[in-house]
A and B are shown apart, each in its own frame.
Chain A
Amino acid sequence: MYIIFILIAISVLVAAGFLAAFLWAVRSGQYDDDYTPAVRMLFENEVSGGPKTKKPGQK
């Protein structure tokens, strides 16, 4: 049954990893604007051949 110690340690570590990812996401400003990216991602599909796509990274 002592495997539970390891399992719990792993599960908490995984969760902590997600928490760190979340904190990083907030820090890098991904939660500052929750509207524009949703619109922006639709542009490329509607542009038919014309203007070439913009580089994906914004900064």
Chain B
Amino acid sequence: MSKEKILIVDDSEMNRSILDDMLGEDYDIIEAEDGLEAVNVLRKQASDLSLVLLDIVMPRMDGFGVLEAMNQNGWIDAVPVVMVSSENAPAQVERAYELGVTDFIMRPFDALIVRRRVVNTLLLYAKQKRLISMVEQQVYENEKRSDLMIDVLSHIVEFRNGESGMHILHVRILTDLLLGYLTHKTDRYKLSMRDISMISTASALHDIGKIAIDEKILNKPGRLTKEEFEIMKTHSTVGAKMLENLPVHQGEQLLKIAYEICRWHHERWDGRGYPDGLKEDEIPISAQVVALADVYDALTSERVYKPPFTHEQAVGMIARGECGAFNPLLLECLTENAEKLRTALETDSVEEVKRRKLRGISEETLRGEGRSASERTLQLLDRERMRNNFFTTMAETIQFEYTVSPPMLTVSSWGAKRLGLDEIIMNPNQDSKLRGVMGESTWERLSKRLRSTSPERPEVRMDCPLHYGGTVRWHRIITRALWSDDPKPKFDGALGTVVDIHDAHLKMQELEQKAARDQLTGLLNRASAREQIELRMHDQPNANYALAIFDLDYFKLANDTFGHQFGDQVLQWVAKSLCRSVRGTDISCRAGGDEFMLFLEYNTDIEKTIDRVFRNLCGKYENFQIAVTMGVALGEDVGLSYETLFHAADAALYAAKRAGRGRYRFYDDSLQTLLDSVPHAEQEETATIH
């Protein structure tokens, strides 16, 4: 049987090491050097852990942070936490208890105390854990029959009268304690701690055969007749048969033990019990102990046919053999520890009730009072399966998981390494590294889109550039939101994967660019130029901008004289000259026909710039003298609107033409009247299309 796992969380390596030395022989130790690491370990294997030893003061995330995360994720229900600290301010201690810690160990450590506390806490939780793992096992094996065992148990409760809940609980506690004392006395039975908790867990099933017993007999006040007693006696074999016929779990240790207990918990040491008349150690130790616990609790409890006996009376009656013969060693355990047993039963049951209230785990289910434990377990397992499926189908990519509370992003180690992120990112909204990689708004956009999904359609796909390793690459984020199963679903977080789509994206961009460009000259076409101009002005509204429109003088002549092919070559020559004389950040475009447009940003003397561009555009292509006429409008004169700039430049061009071609002219207020009278190029173009 494998050792129980203990997680030690302490930022001091020496303190971890001391605890490790105290406990390492008996337990598997996992170490975490701060709260974040601890949460990560819990995230991966909370259900495997038996105990957390937790320091308070630690860097990155302190002990309280861990406790809060454990509460938010429900781990605190399954894994007991013992605080290990020299912090003993009452407020701190109280806060820790409020957050669900089971116990405190103060520094300096005493080896005996540490071991004892650990054992106590583990014992306290062992029962719950076994039950949970039982349920988990069922789920894995057969989803449909997931909580069959528990169903069986709750049926008993339905069939039996009110005594059952406490009786089952008491028998479990007594069984557990008696076995503990027994192992101190003898190693004859070779009982491991795990065996003990399995026997205690299985003890809950000792009377399941009573389902089959007529309630009239079961709850009859007063003595049973001989016939009735014979019927009553069948409950042991009936219960054993039920377990034998269970369609699942055959071959499991727990079931084997439960079978022993059901069948033989009415056997007696001297061979005078039923149903098989086994004697002494022919009776499995599990059944021997449960038999004693059963008798003791029956005596001390009120029954329909008798008042309760005191603890002393009960122990006396058992010791004198009035309820049949028991293993002398067990009797010693009972009498020697009579006091301890009584107080344990009293305090433990109070504790149990409290714990049940607080944690609502296995006991609750056992009593049929609620099914939160199994449902929660199911939900967790379901999520686990979903997660695994999702991830295994998405191999070789960057994977991540996001939880809302605590706000935490976990990135697969391969992915984290590739993107240069931490594997665990607390408060991702505020993480500067993550922002650096994703850009300012991408995280918010993604988070918003995830929150607006529904449990039925939880998937989100988003393409975005990621910045890492000194480059920018396009990625596709494929993610699904996790919604809770509540009637009103709550957004719990998301699972996702990130795929590098850079090459595909570049191809797309290339295609887009092609569509945005004029085929002949490679310059932008008018629509995309307008888009870019507006974007530029929107992004940087404080810069100085100029828009120039020009067309070729006598271009029609070139076409007519030398043919269209020649005309095309002229246009290409002009486009080239234009590109040579402007900067890469300027936006140049063939607006249509022989009309071109240039949008530029300037700091100093714009007239000089325009003059230079203008001169570069004039020249000779073969024998054709190329000249242009140009109108220019400045943003500072007319305002930052594409429309206004365009019309003003157009008006200036018109005015320049009227003044006799081969020149450029800036728009000024004197041209105001032209603005209304000039037929706009835009409108002209539209007109020709229609």
Q: Do A and B bind each other?
A: no
Chain A residues in the interface with B (C-beta under 8 A): none
